[in-house]
């Protein structure tokens, strides 16, 4: 009971800290719809934004998410040149998004590191993922500034994926705003991956009873409250989810699929002394909890060709 009360209070605090929009009635859905110009979209959330009924939709070709008012959505295709009528199950199943969702949530259901770990083309570069789970320490300022310096040197924004927890957003409002500002200034291209709300961890429990597998976990709240916090701050949650500790099981993976989210693993968790390989997904912690990983990546940062995860997988 105490944990649930804290949970609710934390979410209320987040709403007050970052509220640019009022998000209410936030819930999962999986509904194929059409835009006014006949493009197929997948609605994965329904909610009200400032009292206007809206969907969080996924472009199934490029994986971009966006907010679409329900009034602008069509239940069937009305564009003549695109075969008017209802969609078919194959319309959905044949899309890039649905195939990635299926592949990443399919057997074997490994306990550690389920999900996307590599790009499609190893020669193209690497995906840099940065975990921001709850921490009492300031974030890795030198590392984030080095990413901005890389952008200034190249003249192009640096693509990164930040796996963020809702509690980190609440505990580090100034640092979160700095990241948002760097995105707005076109220094960083940030894909916000969901890293759960609380990222619960017990140092005396085995993995089978830890993180999101710990008894009493409200998976619905863990997933949706982080997305809601991002939306209220004017940011867009993506279709990617990183399990805390990279730990999951079959039941949890099947649950994640129901939310339309693609699990994100890692090929090189640098604090564990795993080597960067061509095309691999790199994992470092930007919350100062694993400084060893930052020390490992800093010397190679300027040489790495970093890719936008939405285009690379």
| 146 Cβ contact list (under 8 Å, min separation 6) | 298, 301
Output the DSSP codes for 4-68: HHHHHHHHHHHHHHH-SS-EEEEEEEEEEEE-TTS-EEEEEEEEEETTEEEEEEE-TTT--EEEE
Are residues 124 and 311 in contact, defined by beta-carbon separation less than 8 angstroms?
no
DSSP 8-state assignment for residue 312: H
Are residues 189 and 160 in contact, defined by beta-carbon separation less than 8 angstroms?
yes
What is the rounded distance in angstroms from the CA atom of residue 168 to the CA atom of residue 172?
6
- Ordered alpha helix ranges (H), 155-215: 166-171, 173-184
What is the rounded distance in angstroms from the CA atom of residue 125 to the CA atom of residue 2?
46
- Which residue ranges in the chain fall short of pLDDT 70? 1-19, 80-85
Query: What's the pLDDT at 88?
Result: 84
Furthest CA-CA distance within the chain: 62
What is the rounded distance in angstroms from the CA atom of residue 175 to the CA atom of residue 182?
11
Query: What's the pLDDT at 211?
Result: 97
Domain segments of the chain as ranges: 102-312
Helix (H, G, I), strand (E, B) or coil at 301: coil
Helix (H, G, I), strand (E, B) or coil at 213: helix
Query: What's the pLDDT at 14?
Result: 47
Query: What's the pLDDT at 251?
Result: 97
Give me the residue label for tokens 């090189």.
268
Q: Which CATH class is domain 102-312?
A: alpha beta
Are residues 217 and 200 in contact, defined by beta-carbon separation less than 8 angstroms?
yes
Q: How far is CA 269 from CA 76, 208, 281, 282, in A?
A: 44, 20, 9, 6
Helix (H, G, I), strand (E, B) or coil at 72: helix
| pLDDT per position as a tens digit, 48-74 | 999 999 999 999 999 999 999 999 998
Q: How far is CA 38 from CA 34, 45, 73, 79, in A?
A: 6, 20, 10, 6
What is the share, in percent, of the chain residues with pLDDT greater than 90? Answer: 85
Are residues 243 and 110 in contact, defined by beta-carbon separation less than 8 angstroms?
no
């Amino acid at each position: 009971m105490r944990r649930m009360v804290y949970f609710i209070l934390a979410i209320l605090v987040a709403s007050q800290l970052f509220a640019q929009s009022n998000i209410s009635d936030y819930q999962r859905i999986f509904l194929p719809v059409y835009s006014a110009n006949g493009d197929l979209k997948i609605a994965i959330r329904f909610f009200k934004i400032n009292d206007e009924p809206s969907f969080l939709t996924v472009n199934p070709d490029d994986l971009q998410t966006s907010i679409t008012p329900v009034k602008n959505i069509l239940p069937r295709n009305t564009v003549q040149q695109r075969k008017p009528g209802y969609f078919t199950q194959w319309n959905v199943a044949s899309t890039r998004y649905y195939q990635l969702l299926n592949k990443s949530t399919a057997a074997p259901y490994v306990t550690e590191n389920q999900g996307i770990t590599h790009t499609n083309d190893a020669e193209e570069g690497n995906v840099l993922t940065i975990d921001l789970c709850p921490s009492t320490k300031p974030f890795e300022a030198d590392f984030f500034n080095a990413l901005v310096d890389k952008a200034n040197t190249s003249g192009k924004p640096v693509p990164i994926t930040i796996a963020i927890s809702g509690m980190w957003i609440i505990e580090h409002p100034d640092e979160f705003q700095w990241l948002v500002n760097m995105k707005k200034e076109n220094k960083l291209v940030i894909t916000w991956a969901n890293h759960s709300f609380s990222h619960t961890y017990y140092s005396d429990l085995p993995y089978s009873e830890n993180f999101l597998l710990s008894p009493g976990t409200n998976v619905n709240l863990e997933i949706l409250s982080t997305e809601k916090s991002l939306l209220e701050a004017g940011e867009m949650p993506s279709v990617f989810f990183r399990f805390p500790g990279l730990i999951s099981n079959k039941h949890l993976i099947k649950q994640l699929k129901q939310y339309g989210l693609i699990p994100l693993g890692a090929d090189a968790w640098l604090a564990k002394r795993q080597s960067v390989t061509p095309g691999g997904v790199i994992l470092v912690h930007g919350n100062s909890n694993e400084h060893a990983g930052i020390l490992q990546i800093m010397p190679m940062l300027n040489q790495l060709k970093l890719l936008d995860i939405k285009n690379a997988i």
